[in-house]
Chains A and B, each alone.
Chain A
Amino acid sequence: MRECLALVRASWQTESSYRLNMALSLVSLALVVVPLYFVSNALQPLMASSIAQQSREYFAFTLIGALTFALVSASISALPSALGAAIGRGTLEAFLATPTHPAVLFTGLSAYTVLWALVRGSVLLLAGVVLGVHVAWGNALTGALIVGLLLIAYGAVGLVGSSLLLCFRTTGPLLSGALTVSAFLGGVYYPTHVIPSWLQEISKVLPLTYGLRALRQSALRGDDFAAVSGDVAILSLQTALLLLIGTVSIAAALRHARRTGTLSHY
């Protein structure tokens, strides 16, 4: 835990040394939420019936979609980005040469990005509340559980991407592909039942599909946990499976890098 916190603190110190970049990161939220508000309100009559199972307001629907997508984007790219930076700086080998377990190192290296995304997401949510979004705060725990599962599931995909990075110095199309498919077929801006049936088959394997549906029902409609338990169960299974794949792949990648002597290579 102390090692994780030290890595988070070092990441914060590094990022906050780029002050303008940090300020712009927060200011840019306004550029997201304001257009989203006006466009969603304009589309409300058109979308009202199709989103009824998850939300009454299209602005709230898209806000939760955009916010969650930003979180999973951060989660999937956190470790590959951190590892890429550590390889570039030459610190990866120095980190791995310490007695700290690689799992703790990787968690600590990616934690800052995810935490910062959570801060940005919270700001976005508060802005939505100010603009009239009704959130069922009583279901906050359920919401936190769903967000946690989504972060782990997409973080696990990031582990696979990190494995590719360690072995080939590129994540290939994996991360961008996973994010693109999730954005278009995971129900971020429209419910998955409105997309063509053959594409719905793809959306059924995406953790975001189940996570977003459950999150909206819980946070926006105020449904209790029993109502979303089916989606949460599927999401949990997907998360467990992805985590297993991610863990196995990163362990194999580390072994490969140690065998080929490429840990310190650019």
Chain B
Amino acid sequence: MELAQAVAPPTFSPPRLDGAPARAVQPAVRAEALTKTFAPRTAVRDMVRFTRRAPAVAVVDRVTLDVFPGEVFGLLGPNGAGKTTIFKMLSTMIAPDAGTASVAGFDILTEAAAVRGALASVPADERSLNWRLSARQNLLLFAALQRVARAETEERVTWALRTVALADTATKRVGEFSSGMRQRLLIARALLTRPKILLLDEPTRTLDPLSARELRQFLREELVGRYACTILLATHNTDEAFGFCDRVAVLHKGRVLATGAAQLLTTRYGEARYRLVVRDAAHPAFAQLERRGLMQRAGAVERTGDGWSALECTIPGDPSRSAEVLRLLVEAGAEVARLERVELSLADLITRIIGADAGVPRDA
């Protein structure tokens, strides 16, 4: 049976990946063409031989971002993509080679002290605590350095410890803490100043799933909801990217490849993938649909063991097109037991965006 000619060829118009507040709002964090290049270390052998130095590597390459007040913004990308370097430039720990950035309206180069007062950073490295001191002693030290008012210090430290569920172990040495407890203490330390902007570098990396969920809930409800705190986080966590971040930027080799809500990026780059369970994976209807560009088989056919086969395919265009494909397959005599959408993983999304990169950032 000939497939119905009525089905229009697929058209794909990328949706606006907005999700960002109106542009009239002053960004809490703005980076414009931010660039950082590091010279590779020269080996002693090369220095002795006067070998020409390897060219410098751009770790962050003309990154332009706007993050708005009260927004949770995620930085995604493989290791070495430049996420941590961006954080360090925003927190004034690394000076950019080119470009500008402002945090809470303060320039990171000319108003560094004000920037440091406006933001708090939670590093991925839990070593940045004094392990010989107790949790409370660590927080009291940083409360003084962060210039929390003397009268409020005790109350603020107690609140921060209670917030991250460390009140019962406040007098215990940090060296005796578990990895997750140290991570929570780092977050408590960042909360001391009730910062306007919070930088979180893989904040749930060492937390168990329940604690991670509680932390995200706290960040969303308490910091964003109550204090209108802006959160930037670097993450490899699917739940955070899709469920927690309002928008994300996908970075690769220091460049922003795409920006927008993670779900919308998935639609934009996802080429909706489906799993089909059919009696005959070699049925000619599949080839016909492929020739017409209505679907594309992907990956190997998997035998399910009960005489059926499972195969994955992509069906470009609107999700309603999958119903059309199913109808055409059934009309062509293919026996279909199931057609279900396969959710795109974070790794798949990043891989696809990197693969689709033509060198031009795709901004919302």
Contact = CB atoms under 8 A, between A and B. Distances in A.
Contact of A97 (B39, B95, B116, B129): B116
B93 A13 contact: no
Contacts of A2: 144, 150
B244 interface: no
B147 A6 contact: no
Contacts of A17: 132-133, 173
B308 interface: no
Interface stretch (A160-168, A217-225, A255-263): A255-263
B142 A89 contact: no
Contact of A101 (B36, B88, B113): B113
B93 A264 contact: yes
Contacts of B263: none
Nearest to B145: A98
A255 B121 contact: no
B291 to A, nearest CB: 53
A99 B146 contact: yes
Interface string A1-24: 011011101100110010000000
Interface residues on B, range: 35 or more
B132 A95 contact: no
A98 B150 contact: no
Given A98-B146, A100-B145, A101-B113, A14 B132 contact: yes
A93 interface: yes
Interface in A60-92: 89-91
B145 A258 contact: no
Interface residues of A, number: 30
B95 A258 contact: yes
Contact of B145 (A14, A89, A95, A255): A95
A96 interface: yes
A94 interface: yes
Contacts of A100: 145-147
Nearest to A90: B127
A263 B125 contact: no
Interface string B80-108: 00000100100111110000000000000
Task: Specify which of A5, A7, A10, A97 lies most central, judged by the most chain B CB atoms within 10 Å of its CB.
Answer: A97
Given A2-B150, A98-B116, A261 B144 contact: no
A94 B199 CA distance: 13
A94 B189 CA distance: 10
B38 A91 contact: no
Contact of B128 (A7, A90, A255, A261): A90
A148 to B, nearest CB: 25
Given A14-B130, A89-B128, A89-B131, A99 B116 contact: yes
Contacts of B94: 258-259, 261, 263
Contact of B133 (A5, A10, A258): A10
Given A6-B144, A14-B132, A89-B130, A97 B137 contact: no
Given A13-B133, A98-B142, A99-B116, A93 B93 contact: yes
Interface string B171-184: 00100000000000
A190 B132 CA distance: 42
A264 B129 CA distance: 13
A99 B193 CA distance: 11
B145 A6 contact: yes
Interface in A224-266: 255, 258-261, 263-264
Interface in A89-129: 89-91, 93-101, 105
Contacts of B125: 90, 264
B88 A99 contact: no
B329 interface: no
A96 B121 CA distance: 11
Interface in B114-149: 114, 116-117, 121, 123, 125, 127-133, 137, 140-147
Contacts of A95: 145
A10 B137 contact: yes
Nearest to B114: A99
Contacts of A13: 132-133, 137
Interface in B231-271: none
A252 to B, nearest CB: 13
Contacts of B95: 255, 258-259
B296 to A, nearest CB: 44
Contacts of B85: 261
B141 A261 contact: no
B36 A97 contact: no
Given A6-B140, A100-B145, A261 B113 contact: no
Nearest to B141: A10
Given A99-B116, A99-B147, A261 B131 contact: no
A258 B115 CA distance: 15
Shortest Cβ-Cβ A-B pairs, 4 listed:
A90-B127, A6-B144, A98-B145, A99-B117
Interface of A: 2-3, 5-7, 9-10, 13-14, 17, 89-91, 93-101, 105, 255, 258-261, 263-264
Given A17-B133, A90-B125, 6 more contacts: A7-B145, A90-B129, A91-B127, A98-B116, A99-B147, A259-B94
